[in-house]
Amino acid sequence: MVSTASTNKNKGGMTVQDAGRIGGRKTAKKYGSKFFSDIGSKGGQATLDRHGANFYSRIGKIGGKTSIEAYTV
């Protein structure tokens, strides 16, 4: 099965990843790195308010386990 992203790129179009990268670079140039820091903090606080502190503990353990499995020889 051929993905839409690769099909579009083969036809001279742009993948979703390419468009996101270009948009992110333009946003960074226009607003600076502090903008990304601020929106990241707001998103983190919204997640904390919505899901609670235990949510971060659970996802941290999942990510840690995944990293151990991926990088342990």
pLDDT in tens, 4-54: 555 455 566 899 999 999 999 999 999 998 999 999 999 999 999 999 999
DSSP 39-69: HHHHHHHHHHHHH-HHHHHHHHHHHHHHHHH
pTM for this prediction: 0.55
Question: What's the pLDDT at 69?
Answer: 93
Judged against a pLDDT cut of 70, whether residue 3 lies above it is answered with no
Evaluate whether residue 69 is within a structural domain: yes
Evaluate whether residue 21 is within a structural domain: no
Are 15 and 5 a contacting pair, CB within 8 Å? yes
Question: What's the pLDDT at 72?
Answer: 87
Q: What is the rounded CA–CA span in Å between residue 37 and residue 31?
A: 11
Evaluate whether residue 45 is within a structural domain: yes
Our count of domains for the chain comes to 1
Evaluate whether residue 46 is within a structural domain: yes
Question: What's the pLDDT at 23?
Answer: 94
Domain with 56, as residue range(s), is 32-73
Q: What is the rounded CA–CA span in Å between residue 47 and residue 49?
A: 5
